[in-house]
Homo-oligomer: A and B are copies of this chain.
Amino acid sequence: MRRMTARPANAHQARLLRLLRDGGPNSRAQLGDQVDLSRSKLAVEVDRLLETGLVIADGLAASRGGRRSHNIRLAPELRFLGVDIGATSVDVAVTNAELEVLGHITQPMDVRDGPVAVFEQVLAMAAKLKASGLAEGFDGAGIGVPGPVRFPEGVPVAPPIMPGWDGFPVREALSQDLGCPVMVDNDVNLMAMGEQHAGVARSVHDFLCVKIGTGIGCGIVVGSEVYRGTTGSAGDIGHIQVDPDGRPCACGNKGCLEAHFSGSALARDAEEAAQDGRSPELAGRLEAAGALTGADVAAAAAAGDPTALELIREGGNRTGQVIAGLVSFFNPGLVVIGGGVTGLGHNLLAAIRTQVYRQSLPLATGNLPIVLGELGPVAGVIGAARLISDHLFSPA
């Protein structure tokens, strides 16, 4: 089937498309309530959108006490591809135009294999989703990569954990391969956009989204828009120093947050504790699996292992210390914690909260929720779909 190539012709049309994306099917009258346009004008723009095929008529809406109105919705055959490239795994998902996830695949992977190998795998996953009948093609794709990105060009820059990606024209290459528009962003920013669109951050305009996975990053949302910084490296909090005499970090400094707490640091600490005999629980798991991950620590903690709990508490303290500083500085309306280690759950959250509430001033923390992300692994792919839809649903 031919893909949609139309784009909104003006800001009104873009506005309407976003309303339909975020609010689902809507009647003309309901749309009219939200956009502050005359009925005539609204009708004209809706008719034009219908002509382009981006939206379709979709039966009658329930009556609101008078004549029933005709529903309008985004074309149901529109498809977005959301790709979330992590350090050790890839998530690929298909969504409709309302950003509902229709299909989702996760596969292990190693970013260090380089962009060519990774995108080969991503394209195969996308093909698989197509083959399963979820899509006949894609109208746009959003890609998240675990490192800083020069956003306008869609090119990773100096990514510490992904050598070989520096300067690789991700946007251009994938746009070619997929035959559709592509936008690229940092994975943490996409997680923030995902939680904003469909998760805990709905209706919050300024918030932080801390992702603790293999590394640690932070999505910054200002006025409902992602802030990326001058060179695209904003939110790179993994290398903030938490201890002047702390552990050496891969970046060359000492005492970076990431060196003390992150998916990989936690795994290493856990293995050490297992080998030292400090935790029989962890030792058992190490013997069974050959290596430990954050999930093992979470399980051990759930089983009541005091060493595992202590590791989590310690990491939460360190993270909370950094977040406390960011809260004082940024005064967000919400802090979302997400990423691989969210399995550590409320133990981690409690430690972070304690530290933040103790260290930041009451005015900043007074009404500040600190919560776990509610979308888990789909936050990234939804954010990716939202990224490209924001791009496509904007005036040409």
Query: Given A229-B330, A229-B331, A330-B229, are A361 and B325 also a contact pair (CB < 8 Å)?
Result: no
Does A86 sit at the interface, judged by CB under 8 A? no
A329 lies within 8 A of B361 (CB): no
Give the CA-CA distance A322 to B218 in the complex, in Å.
17
- A 322-349 binary contact with B (CB < 8 Å = 1; else 0): 1011101111110000000000000000
Q: For residue A230, which residues in chain B have a CB less than 8 angstroms away from its CB?
A: 205-206, 331-333
User: For the complex formed by this chain, how many copies does it contain in all?
Assistant: 2
Among the 9-residue stretches A44-52, A127-135, A277-285, A362-370, the one with 4 or more Cβ atoms under 8 Å from chain B is A362-370
B331 lies within 8 A of A329 (CB): no
How far apart are A80's CB and chain B's nearest CB, in angstroms?
Answer: 27
Does A253 sit at the interface, judged by CB under 8 A? yes
Give the CA-CA distance A367 to B328 in the complex, in Å.
26
Among the 9-residue stretches A59-67, A169-177, A233-241, A268-276, the one with 4 or more Cβ atoms under 8 Å from chain B is A233-241
Q: Say which residue of B239, B360, B363 sits within 8 Å of A148 (CB atoms).
A: B363
Q: For residue A205, which residues in chain B have a CB less than 8 angstroms away from its CB?
A: 230
Query: Given A148-B363, A328-B240, A361-B236, are A222 and B231 also a contact pair (CB < 8 Å)?
Result: no
Does A319 sit at the interface, judged by CB under 8 A? no
A329 lies within 8 A of B237 (CB): yes
A234 lies within 8 A of B329 (CB): yes
A206 lies within 8 A of B233 (CB): no
Q: Which of A220, A222, A333 has the most chain B CB within a 10 Å cutoff?
A: A222
B331 lies within 8 A of A364 (CB): no
Residue of B at shortest CB range from A218? B329
Does A227 sit at the interface, judged by CB under 8 A? yes
Give the CA-CA distance A138 to B359 in the complex, in Å.
43
Does A262 sit at the interface, judged by CB under 8 A? no
Residue of B at shortest CB range from A255? B359
B364 lies within 8 A of A229 (CB): yes
Q: Which residues of A contact B (CB under 8 A)?
A: 148, 157-158, 160, 205-206, 218, 220, 222, 227-237, 239-241, 251, 253, 321-322, 324-326, 328-333, 358-364, 366-367
